[in-house]
Amino acid sequence: MPAAAYPEFRLGSVLATSFTGTLSERHGHPVERIPVPQRLVDWLVVSGLAVDSCTAEQLGLAKELREAVHAAATAAASGEPLPADAVRVINERSAQGRAVAVLTSEGEREWRLSSPSSVEDALGVIAADAIGIIAGERDGRLALCASPTCRAAFFDTSRSRTRRWCEMNTCGNREKKARYLANRRADADHRKDSG
């Protein structure tokens, strides 16, 4: 199937939570954005971790890591103890990655994988990114999306640290619209009562 036939990616600026966002609406009607190995290839390419192929087994490792990051980030955002299984998976993926950071002549960081087919190296970078966020090594706050059907863990780097939604364009707007419609209904009821 062409890429357009699959659900679009929701790309955030933080690698680890952008990755957990490849499964969205976890508490509503879940949308799987990497349903086949090729879609993981596509996601890694747009996320700066270009690989040229992916096996079904590698996709399995990726999804296992994704759910581990989601579980650990959710626990961290809620102030709960980290699930041991999730910690183990994140550490395994981190330990098995052999990507190296290189500095480009333009002064940017790039990840160099040990081979173009090493999805494991790419997953190692994602796992390390998750460790940095969950361990509180980065400037920001882990939080859960206020949308009841989403509850995605996201990393709030806003100055006020009061961001409520994983993404303004989707969850934020939906919530605003729901509130607007509820207010309008309340106004209409009010008019009926007073009229």
Q: Is 85 helix (H, G, I), strand (E, B) or coil?
A: helix
Range in contact with Zn ion (rule: CB under 5 A) among 6-14, 54-62, 139-147, 182-190: 139-147
Range in contact with Zn ion (rule: CB under 5 A) among 45-53, 124-132, 138-146, 186-194: 138-146
For Zn ion, which is the closer residue by CB, 96 or 149? 149
What's the min distance (Å) between Cβ of 147 and Zn ion? Answer: 4
For Zn ion, which is the closer residue by CB, 55 or 157? 157
What's the min distance (Å) between Cβ of 153 and Zn ion? Answer: 10
Interacting residues of 3 by C-beta distance below 8 A, sequence separation 6+: 38, 39, 42
Please return the burial class of 51, using the count of CB atoms within 10 Å of its CB with bins 0-12, 13-18 and 19+.
buried
Residue 171, interface with Zn ion (CB under 5 A)?
A: yes
Residue 143, interface with Zn ion (CB under 5 A)?
A: no
Report 146-165 residues binding Zn ion (CB under 5 A). Answer: 147, 150, 152
Cα–Cα distance measured from residue 25 to residue 167, given in angstroms and rounded to the nearest whole number:
12
**Which residues of the shown chain bind Zn ion in the complex (CB under 5 A)?**
145, 147, 150, 152, 166, 171
